[in-house]
Amino acid sequence: MSRLFAISDIHGHVEGARLLLARARYVPGTDTLVLLGDFIDRDPASWGALTFIRSLTDQGAIAIAGNMERYMLEHAQKDQALSSTYEEELRFLSKLPLYFRQDPYLFVHAGIRPGIRLEQQSAADLTGIRQDFWSSDVPLPCTVVFGHTPSQRIGAKPGELWQGADRLGIDTGAKHGLRLTLVELTGHLAYSCATDPSDLYGDLRTDRYA
């Protein structure tokens, strides 16, 4: 049976992502995997993560752009050395969509502006919106799965998923030394590992969410 997975805000934690995919027994070509952006950070040391992301998309995963990918593209326009060093990666990033829909879910990096039709959403909102999206009580036409804002800033316990009306926040703070989470939407499972340097990729958990 095909399963539906999503992971967001890896921020260079490639080994953690590999570990979670293995733990979930993800099967490329059978299962669907959606990667919600911010694969990298501003630190160029994280940009090697794009090789891993490209390999996943070559096997059938769907990748969408986050604000960090947009940052890298914009930065490269002003930096000839960067654009020549990461030519293939930048070409890959330039082709990434800003959202992916598979009913009953809409996958996007940051969220959407309530009350605006999907095709009229701005790139700035899709990759950067925060409280105007997740604090809104405007009903949405589907469940929006998003990252960008670490879940504990919205009200979840540190390192745990955040759930709201028609909204599922899956950035569990990998960048901030909390946890990286792979969500299996089909079975309502969350596979996660620590990203604190003192226990990097340890404390593996599999939790069920409502």
The phi and psi torsions of 169 (rounded to 5 degrees) equal -95, 125
Q: Which of 96, 98, 33 is nearest to 59 (CA)?
A: 33
Handedness of CA 59, 65, 68, 70 (dihedral sign): positive
Helix, strand, coil share of the chain (percent; to 5) = 35, 20, 45
* pLDDT number for residue 1: 80
Gap between the Cα atoms of 115 and 121, Å rounded: 10
Handedness of CA 45, 48, 52, 58 (dihedral sign): positive
Question: For 70-107, how does the pLDDT look when each residue is reduced to its tens digit (9 = 90+)?
Answer: 999 999 999 998 899 999 999 999 999 999 999 999 99
* pLDDT number for residue 141: 87
3-state SS, residue 146: strand
Return per-residue pLDDT of the chain as tens, 210 residues: 899 999 999 999 999 999 999 999 999 999 999 999 999 999 999 999 999 999 999 999 999 999 999 999 999 999 998 899 999 999 999 999 999 999 999 999 999 999 999 999 999 999 999 999 999 999 898 999 999 999 999 999 999 999 999 999 999 999 999 999 999 999 999 999 999 999 999 999 999 998
Cα 27 to its chain centre, rounded Å, is 19
Gap between the Cα atoms of 27 and 19, Å rounded: 14
Gap between the Cα atoms of 111 and 114, Å rounded: 9
The phi and psi torsions of 192 (rounded to 5 degrees) equal -145, 160
What class, spelled out in words, does domain 4-208 have in CATH? Answer: alpha beta
Prior bond of 104 cis (ω within 30°): yes
* pLDDT number for residue 182: 98
The domain ranges of the chain are: 4-208
* DSSP symbols for 149-190: S-HHHHTSPTTS-EEETTEEE----GGGTSEEEEEETTTTEE
**What's the pTM value of the predicted model, to 2 decimals?**
0.96
